[in-house]
Amino acid sequence: MEGRMTHHSNNTTIINSTSCIYTSKSLFPISPTAKSPLSRPSISFKRPSFTFLTRLPSEFGGSPLVRMEDPFTASLSSVSPRKNLTTCNHLRHVESMAHLPSGADRITRLNALILGDALASEEDDLIFPSEVFSSQAHVSSSQKYLEMYQRSVHDPSGFWSDIASEFYWREKWGQQVYCENFDVRKGKIKIEWFKGGMTNICYNCLDRNIESGKGDKTAIYWEGNEPGLDSSMTYNQLLARVCQLANYLKDVGVHKGDAVVIYLPMLMELPIAMLACARIGAIHSVVFAGFSAESLAQRIIDCRPKVVITCNAVRRGSKIIYLKEIVDSALLESAQKGIVTDVCLTYENESAMKKEMTKWTKGRDIWWQDVILKYPVTCDVEWVDAEDPLFLLYTSGSTGKPKGVLHTTGGYMVYTATTFKYAFDYKPTDIYWCTADCGWITGHSYVTYGPLLNGATVVVFEGAPNYPDVGRCWDIVDKYKVSIFYTAPTLVRSLMREGDEHVSRYSRKSLRVLGSVGEPINPSAWRWFFNVIGDARCPISDTWWQTETGGFMITPLPGAWPQKPGSATLPFFGVQPVIVDEKGVEIEGECSGYLCVKSSWPGAFRTLHGDHERYETTYFSTFPGYYFSGDGCSRDKDGYYWLTGRVDDVINVSGHRIGTAEVESALVSHPQCAEAAVVGVEHEVKGQGIYAFVTIVEGVPYSDDLRKSLVMVVRNQIGAFAAPDKIHWAPGLPKTRSGKIMRRILRKIASRQLDELGDTSTLADPTVVDQLIALADC
């Protein structure tokens, strides 16, 4: 699994900026006067902005720890021998920072590139921020983090109230800042923050910034699919456009609490639509414009929107996707099931398709450009309670039915703004670009709300990152002088495969902070991201969080502490992560297990739309008293957290969470498919790939045409991103006598870990395993 710690005990690596010697098993520092066992020239390197560290091997007679000369290192703490830290409280990871993780001298940028994955041990590699970066950071040292974190968990009411007071509230919340119950044994699961406080997130994103003098500041730079197609919008202009759409929505009968489904590509109209809904208290549900008509219909049926907002088509790379036709099919299907949507507001995306070519339903379909510009550019704000719903976002579940994750207004507003500010060390002069789509939680929290709440300038990109060539990202970075770049490991790995020359021909000098999201990033990709994209001078905020959490949960704070390639490092303010065993018992110190969170945080989701029982069962029943993330996690000897991936039946493909049951359901809808079982496997580019075991109807021969037909069924019913990477013919599936499919065995076969199959004697038909192995390459 990506992000897993690996150990290479015979390849310990140390590099000193004075001189180095090479041996067949190591590269380590010697003093300039020492006698070398091999005749090699000394090599000197210029010190980069960051510092790599590794453990000094004891067999070379050195101390296991070498004191660092950097002033920032000294500010972390004095270096002392490691000891086993086994405290029984949530500040354990902070206490571990009182003891600097073991390391010895500097590894330069150049050598880090050469060494790659041959370093001694991933959790022993450290990268320190420069003294200059740390001195200017919001959190400039581990000591400052420690003080803030301690207050956030010992006095959450005071900590979050102080931050919330920086926003505009029409009425302040009551004496009780938050109320929670995380234990299903004590009653209904309940999370509330700032209840009774009246606010509006759109007002805080736009009006509040304009009133503070940012009206003429660029809010959005929009970059189209085709190079040269671009636009921009100031905060004043953005507010006017939001108000026009908000007035239209009110005019067609959308009121506070009504749902609006948004099925748009990354046009400026997408964040405009989100903000317009929020302004009038409507609940927006953005659906990624890559989902099929059937998936869109499921979401429409569940949330019953008053309006669907879409566009006629979008061009992604060289391909045109006819979104309006997908919406037409979804509205027809939902109407057949009794859910009728009266208004389909359609934006003409003329770069992809002209009006006259668009299929039209009179009386329901309305062109955006024909009506919106006629409305006033001011719109009264609907003040809402902090616990009133803000949006629904559907995420895949293991039962096959998408889950409608419900986020409310006040806590989400405070949390996303705060995580954005600190995790990216945001400054008012920064230009920020997140490559995510607003159809996912990252686009909600860190394209729209988090940045705009901070008055940031955001780049919104419509196209594909490799179109018209693989240098497009860096062309955009140079064009807009992007200083904070936040993307997914999938993109990093795919660009890494194309070679460094596609990066080095661009300047990228504006970059200051990098970020990773969606899945654990493997250490080799982390190093390439750091060394090649960031020129070894930009810290990486490798964030762990979920649709359900609303914002970052475990993340580096640039400037505060050393980073480790592949580790999300330490928890954000107010977050109390724990690792438990299969019995729900907390494990202390260095360990691996199930990642849970105890106690609530402001950005947490409140329920699943229309199904609170499923909310409690899915997230709070497995380990009573905790929120169960569904992820596996390791904690190393220094208290750093390493995410190891999903432990349930949800596959993370390029940051998209896809339920195995959803894919299986699509496969078995094929008339020639009798049964299917889907598992996730490691994928070089996507993180995880979809591996499908398919049992076909008796008498039907295996064929490539059938394989293609099965894949096409999934593409049509769910979307191209859910298409199986491998169809494995299965005469039968490994099942227990009770009929349960043993997915553990399927995962081992899919991963070719045949020596780890374990005991198969409990299967109803053990011979099935041999048959599957024999068909692995068919």
Active-site amino acid positions: 648
**514, 525 contact by CB (below 8 A):** no
Cβ neighbours of residue 567 under 8 Å, at least 6 residues apart?
3, 122, 123, 542, 636, 640, 641, 642
Q: 457 has which bridge partners? A: 431
Q: Could you give the C-alpha distances from 701 to 623, 673, 730, in angstroms and in order?
A: 46, 11, 12
Torsion of CA 452, 271, 548, 397, to 10 degrees: -160
Residue in the structure block whose two tokens are 């616990």 = 387
Contacts 24+ apart (CB under 8 A), 39-46: 42/18, 43/19, 44/17, 44/18, 44/19, 45/15, 45/17, 45/108, 45/109, 45/110, 45/111, 46/108
**540, 520 contact by CB (below 8 A):** no
HEC assignment per residue over 582-645: CCCCECCCCEEEEEEECCCCCCCCCEECCCHHHHHHHHCCCCCCCEEEEEEEEECCCCCEEEEE
Q: Three-state SS for 513?
A: strand
Compute how many other C-beta atoms are within 10 angstroms of the C-beta atom of residue 708: 11
Strand pairing of 656-659 and 650-653?
A: antiparallel
Distance CA 585, CA 392 (A): 33
Instruction: Provide the greatest CA pair distance for the chain.
Output: 88
Residue in the structure block whose two tokens are 């957290």 = 641
Compute how many other C-beta atoms are within 10 angstroms of the C-beta atom of residue 332: 12
- Over the range 495-511, which residues count as b (16 or more CB within 10 Å of their CB) and which as e? bbeeeeebbeebebebb
**483, 510 contact by CB (below 8 A):** yes
46 burial via Cβ count (<10 Å: 0-12, 13-18, 19+):
exposed
**491, 435 contact by CB (below 8 A):** yes
Ramachandran category for residue 529: left, alpha or beta (phi over 0 → left; psi -120 to 50 → alpha) = alpha
Q: Which of 512, 461, 462, 456 is nearest to 482 (CA)?
A: 512
Distance CA 686, CA 524 (A): 15
DSSP state, residue 100: P
Alpha-carbon dihedral sign for residues 606, 607, 612, 618: negative
Q: Three-state SS for 26?
A: coil
Retrieve residue 139's tokens: 């959190």
